[in-house]
Amino acid sequence: MADKHKHVDEVSGVETTGHEWDGIRELNNPMPRWWVYTFYATIIWAIGYAIAYPSWPMLTEATKGVLGYSSRAEVTAELSDAKAAQASNAERIASSPIEDIMADPELKQFAISAGASAFKVNCAPCHGSGAAGGKGFPNLNDNDWLWGGNPQEIYQTIAHGIRYDGDEETRVSEMPVFADMLTPDEMRATAAYVLSLTAMPSNPALVEPGKQLFADNCASCHGADAKGSREVGAPNLADAIWLKGEGEQAITDQIRSPKHGVMPGWVNRVGDPVVKDLAIFVHSLGGGE
């Protein structure tokens, strides 16, 4: 940029920048005036912006800006707006009995949506995000219900839990340990009979003695037809669903020393309206009665 080397293009009569690439020089035309003004305007804008909004990083935080804007405050405001928008439906759910909610399609849909998100937070760790359960954890999609599958019964189960120490209204049932009462052969025979209700056992000869053993020891809770009893939470043994595992060995194990699942009661943790949401959501999964 030395002045003495000022180079002027012969054709246009315009000064060049002094740079040269393979004989090509760059003309040093001034910027259009409006362009320069626009550039100045952006600078002024930037200064104003830096004053108005959080911009300069300091030691612990950035400058606040005179407008006091913060994206976090905006999110909080949006969240409280959303809460306010849901308030009327949420209040109606809190004050209505579960049958009334089921009868109102809009309110029911609201409860299902609310229940779906509450389920992901509270229930998914045991029952799975799709409510499909697993061994020892019931699948909530199917139509096999230990304690009943209408919305009111589901509500009761969720609210107070099963075999849950912290709630006096909890559902309780306990299958006796048969290891001391039956011999291993008797237990095998009983298991063979139970399996024969839905499948072919390995030794058909055991079915007949097993039937008598079942009538003597099991029918009082599981019923003479082995279809279970919801009053005591006794599972239906004549269906295709096996909570504690499938097959003769699993049945034998369960007779010998039964495993019992525990579900906490939720009404004191999440409150009555959310339990309603959850009950209606679970009922809507496809197996509800």
Partner 1 sequence: MHYQPAQKAGSVERLEAKPINAARLGRPLYEKRRKIFPKRAEGRFRRFKWLVMLVTLSIYYLTPWIRWDRSAHAPDQAVLVDLAARRFYFFFIEIWPQEFFFVAGLLVMAGFGLFLVTSAVGRAWCGYACPQTVWVDLFLVVERFIEGDRLARMRLDTGAWTFDKVRKRVAKHAIWLVIGVATGGAWIFYFADAPTLMKSFVALEAAPVAYMTVATLTATTYVFGGLMREQVCTYMCPWPRIQAAMLDENSLVVTYNDWRGERRTRHAKRAAAAGEVVGDCVDCNACVAVCPMGIDIRDGQQLECITCALCIDACDGVMDKLGRQRGLISYATLSDYSANMALATNNGAIPIDPRRVRDGNGVFVQGIRDFDWRIIFRRRVVLYFGVWALVGLGMLYALVSRDRLELNVLHDRNPQYVVESDGSVRNGYVIKLLNMIPEPRRITLSLDGMPSARVRIAGQAPGDGQSFSVAVDPDKVTSFKIFVTLPKESLVEAQSGFSFRAEDPSSKERDVYRTNFIQPGTAK
Interface residues toward partner 1, by CB under 8 A: 12-14, 29-34, 108, 128-132, 139, 141-144, 198, 236, 239-241, 284, 286-287
How far is residue 142 from each of residues 25, 125, 240, 287, measured CA to CA in Å? 80, 19, 11, 5
Q: Which of 128, 155, 153, 152 is nearest to 141 (CA)?
A: 128
Residue 142 vs 253, nearer CB to partner 1:
142
**Smaller CB separation from partner 1, 221 or 241:** 241
* Nearer residue to partner 1 within complex by CB, 182 or 238: 238
* Exposed e or buried b per residue across 151-189, where buried means at least 16 C-beta atoms within 10 angstroms of its C-beta: bebbbbbbbbbbebeebeebbebebeebeeebeeebbbb
**Phi, psi torsion values for 239, nearest 5 degrees:** -125, -175
Whole-number Å distance between alpha carbons of 103 and 108: 7
| Encoded tokens for 163 | 């075999």
Q: Which amino acid is residue 282, in one-letter code?
A: V
Q: What are phi and psi of 114, to 5 degrees?
A: -65, -40
* Beta carbon nearer to partner 1, 228 or 265: 228
Tell me how far, at minimum, the Cβ of 16 lies from partner 1, in Å.
Answer: 13
Q: How far apart are CB 260 and partner 1 at their closest, in Å?
A: 21
Q: How far is the CB of 25 from partner 1 (least distance, A)?
A: 15
Q: Closest approach of Cβ 95 to partner 1, in Å?
A: 23
For the bound state, the minimum distance from the C-beta of residue 29 to partner 1, rounded and expressed in Å, comes to: 5
> How many residues make up the chain in this entry?
289
| Min CB(283)–partner 1 separation in Å | 9
Name which of 35 and 49 has its Cβ closer to partner 1: 35
Cβ closest to partner 1, residue 54 vs residue 287: 287
Note the Cα 271 to chain centre separation in Å. 17
**Tokens (6 digits) for 250:** 């699993």
